Amino acid sequence: MGLMGSGKFGRCDFVGVVVLVVLVGSVSGIGVNWGTRSTHPLSPSKVVKMLKDNGIQKVKLFDADPGILDALKKSGIQVMVGIPNDMLYTLANSVEAAEKWVSKNVSKHVSSGGVDIRYVAVGNEPFLSTYNGSYETTTLPALQNIQAALTKSGLSNRVKVTVPLNADVYQSSSEKPSDGGFRPDINPVMLQIVKFLNDNGAPFTVNIYPFISLYSDPNFPVDYAFFNGYQPAINDNGRTYDNVFDANHDTLVWALQKNGFGNLPIIVGEIGWPTDGDRNANLQYAQRFNQGFMSKYMSGKGTPMRPSPVDAYLFSLIDEDAKSIQPGNFERHWGMFYLDGQPKYQLNLGSTRGNGLVGANGVDHLAKKWCVLKPSANLNDDQVAPSVAYACQNADCTSLGYGTSCGNLDVHGNISYAFNSYYQVNDQMDSACKFPGLSMITDKDPSVGDCKFRIMIQTDSAGLHGKVGSLTTVLLSFVLLLYCNLWF
């Protein structure tokens, strides 16, 4: 899309929970995405308290986890529940299945549970080009059946349907938003969905990621991704664009307007900036982007085509160390907070509670000990490469590599980081630091500068990680991963 920028590509369905901004007429204020693909997730009650402490009044979920919905009871937080893409086929082909889903995941919580559900997100970026059309025939029927189920349950005036779509569903033939239109291969179904949303008083939800524009195009002008007034600005028939968010958003507005839906409400379902895993993903850029967006948001300034305030949901609340990294290593670092619920940087969200982010309370960490490479270990040992590959495949090594927070470690440091990541993910079990003849446990923090060897938090139950198997029997079966390029 050139300077039009990009949505976030390759997003996986099972991504987690998201906090979102709601339609005009409901509570004002920014929303945040709350993902749950973590090996050690914070308890829902702690996260809900974080939301309230930070003045966040809206939350969007990627599913309808009952534990999370229970924690949101009587919280005053408005909710968007989600339907994963892998459920679209069933819901598209069965009205009964849609009615059961609405009864279990919406009606039950609204009527007796005191959960303020406002939206049902049907699918999550189902038309991503990387999905090769897998959900093109099921998204609209699923949307129609969920709407019918909401109507039958008497909730259709209170709870609206939507489909969170990636910004790759539209494009411009030039750098100007006014040349925008829907992607030709999905234009027919997009027009059907847009008409259905319009007919039912529902919003169009889009995820916009200026970071991806920078990530995918080395020639993309860095400053155009932010909100500091990039020059030379794009002049589109008298409308001036000095940041890619405005240009991307208004490309969608033009696509809607050209097809007769120029007044359809738009929600920005996800917008944010990652802090690690890529040379452009760091704390400074994330703070600059998110604060720039929040300053624009709090000023009530919209875009040239939609001057009224933008409805938007920051992505995301907390890092997710178990997300797929197929789109890039940055996928695990979108949070404004680390895994333990502590803020990464200062950010004014516009609440009356001060200018900084408020972290989670009552979070306990494991003991201050780390698994590292023995000083006496032989780097030429044929167990080194498969040990590192095993550790990184079963933990999180996305802070290693060019331009990342731990990108300046030497070979010993890289190996130690991998071992420690595996050790922490497995709750510091002794058996998780028994890489043959290579590893040892230490109480000396191996962190160096901005590269933090983190200690895992204590959780009530194991998250998505499995328990340690027999390393000696498994190691031989592993093929070298890309990570090995980091040390040799």
Question: Which residues carry out catalysis?
Answer: 125, 270
Cβ contact 433:8 at 8 Å: no
Q: What tokens were used for 44?
A: 């829902």
Q: What is the DSSP letter of 479?
A: P
Q: Interior CA angle at 269 toward 80 and 48, to 5°? A: 45
**Cα–Cα distance measured from residue 58 to residue 21, given in angstroms and rounded to the nearest whole number:** 6
* Residue 376, both tokens: 């006496």
- Residue 114 vs residues 186, 241, 301: alpha-carbon distances, Å: 39, 43, 33
Q: Are 49 and 72 in contact (CB under 8 A)?
A: no
Q: Which two tokens stand for residue 319?
A: 């890092």
Tokens of 47: 């996260």
Structure tokens at 240: 């001036």
C-beta of residue 231 within 8 angstroms of C-beta of residue 237: no
* C-alpha pair distances (Å), 252 with each of 166, 169, 209, 245, 370: 11, 9, 14, 11, 49
Name beta bridge partners: 446: none
Contact 56, 35 (CB under 8 A): no
Could you tell me if 401 and 418 are in contact, meaning their C-beta atoms sit under 8 angstroms apart? no
Query: Which string of DSSP letters, residue by residue, matches 232-258?
Result: SPEEETTEEE-SHHHHHHHHHHHHHHH
β-pair partners for 59: 79
DSSP line for 408-423:
T--HHHHHHHHHHHHH
Residues 267, 235, 207: CA angle, nearest 5 degrees: 20
Is 10 in contact with 327 (CB distance < 8 Å)? yes
Measured over the CA atoms of residue 383, residue 389, residue 392 and residue 395, the dihedral's sign is: negative
Residue with tokens 């944010």: 272
In sequence order, which ranges of 202-330 are alpha helices (DSSP H)? 210-216, 244-258, 283-298
Helix or strand holding residue 53 (H, E): helix 44-53
